[in-house]
Amino acid sequence: MSGAAPHSAADAYAQARSSAAAANLSAPSAPADAAAPGPSSSRTRQRTASASASGDAAWYDTMRDHLATPSAWPDENERVLLEPYTYLAAHPGKEIRSRLIDAFNAWLGLDEGKLDVVRKVVGMLHTSSLLMDDVEDNSELRRGIPVAHKIYGVPQTINTANYVYFQVFDLIFTMGAPSLSHTASPAAAAAAAQPSVEKLLVEELIALHRGQGMDLFWRDALVCPTEAEYVDMVNNKTGGLLRIALKLMLAHSSRYHGGGGGSSEQQAQQRPDLLPLVNLIGLLFQIRDDYMNLQSAAYASNKGFAEDLTEGKFSFPIIHSIRSTSANVSAGAPGGNRQLLSILRQRPTDEATKRYAVAYMRSVTRSFAYTRNVMRRLARLVERELAEVEEVLGENRALRVIVKRLEEGWGDEDDED
């Protein structure tokens, strides 16, 4: 990623608009005297200051004109509104999504201005979703620091997260019309116009909230999902952000839509579908994250030891352990595999109980060994899908490095616990 990471959604918005302007994108320009950060500040007019309303009832006689002329959003108000977001964004995470965007761009060839907008869109959506997740999970730590709502309160944190969601739409407008609209027939160009980009974003945000909603329902109702239900939830929730990035890039990639000879139909048949690769990477990433939450010392320092147990979360290893058919025999007592469900119901905070649960998953239900087996199978699918795409679009070393890193922390573990 080029340049320093923005510390607020306002910074991201302002930087992206500058990048768009530098790349001659069709971004609306803000008046010179308008407030810089807000998503609507470029579309409002700076109003001449009216006489103070304090103690002057006659000021309300001109209220019709006053309300009809929107004022610029003050910078100080923007800073106050975004403080929970700014607080978390100042402590960046693993940034795997930004690295994936850069890696896929080796194939898609977006210019730096548009690519920077995609990075910021995904970064803003991700950070905002974390603000909401921490409230919904009643978390204590995020990235090694207290969660935002413990500092700014739940109402302000929720409002800030929702506000940034809407800023994203305004930011996407700076990208201009999709590249397909410049290369296809007039009918196809009309179908590929900006509303379709809005639609793809809305569809994925709906999917993301569906996934999060089921995750919360299972937790709060103490309903253990099947592995198939878990996979569908992850594809909606974790996969959604990755698909937003890829779909935005595909929509604006003239290389992907315009390269090669032949008709547009022939070109479409020659282009590989990149979405299955992204979906597989998203699923592998989430299962690995669930595994590391219960196994990694680094995760413990950032979020707390086995925090998924405290949150009552049905993560992948926990689902396997609860549903394990071998638990009764291994535990030596009827209903042995209900132990973990009972522990999850308690939302334990003490380390002794959580260490017992982790040991139970390791030795009794062998859920960590099973999880590694599943991850190895998914890693092979990712490798196969990547190789097939590379045959058409060329080698992608950056993406291979990312995929290899997804094997860190478990790839060299022995399945004999």
Point out the domain boundary residue: 259, 282, 304. Answer: 259
Is 412 found in the same domain as 297? Answer: yes
29 in a domain, yes or no? no
CA 63 to chain centre: 43
DSSP secondary structure code for residue 3 in this structure: S
Q: State the pLDDT confidence band at 55, using cuts at 50, 70 and 90.
A: confident
401 in a domain, yes or no? yes
Q: State the pLDDT confidence band at 183, using cuts at 50, 70 and 90.
A: very low
Is 228 found in the same domain as 146? Answer: yes
Digit-coded pLDDT (tens) for 14-37: 555 554 444 433 333 333 333 333
pLDDT at 139: 87
Q: Which domain holds residue 280?
A: 272-417
| CATH number reported for the structural domain that contains residue 172 in this entry | 1.10.600.10
Is 390 found in the same domain as 282? Answer: yes
Residue 63 has pLDDT above 50, yes or no: yes
User: Which residues are within 8 A (CB) of 386 and not within 5 positions of it... i.e. 6 or more apart?
Assistant: 277, 396, 399, 400, 403
Helix orientation angle between 112-137 and 96-108, rounded to the nearest 10 degrees: 150
Digit-coded pLDDT (tens) for 170-180: 898 888 778 65
- The per-residue pLDDT of the chain, averaged, comes to 81
Digit-coded pLDDT (tens) for 124-180: 999 999 999 999 988 888 988 999 999 999 999 999 999 999 999 889 888 877 865
**Under 8 Å between Cβ of 213 and 65:** no
Digit-coded pLDDT (tens) for 222-250: 999 999 999 999 999 999 999 999 999 99
Is 367 found in the same domain as 281? Answer: yes
Share of the chain above pLDDT 70, in %: 76
**Under 8 Å between Cβ of 399 and 386:** yes
Q: What is the distance between the alpha carbons of residues 281 and 234, in angstroms, rounded to a whole number?
A: 11
Cα dihedral 298, 303, 304, 309 sign: negative
Q: What is the distance between the alpha carbons of residues 64 and 59, in angstroms, rounded to a whole number?
A: 11
Is 337 found in the same domain as 250? Answer: no
Digit-coded pLDDT (tens) for 83-123: 999 999 999 887 889 999 999 999 999 999 999 999 999 99
36 in a domain, yes or no? no
Point out the domain boundary residue: 259, 285, 312. Answer: 259
pLDDT at 412: 62
Residue 270 has pLDDT above 90, yes or no: no
Q: Which residue has the tokens 């009552």?
A: 312
Instruction: Average the pLDDT over 274-297 and give the result.
Output: 95
Residue 44 has pLDDT above 50, yes or no: no
Q: State the pLDDT confidence band at 261, using cuts at 50, 70 and 90.
A: very low
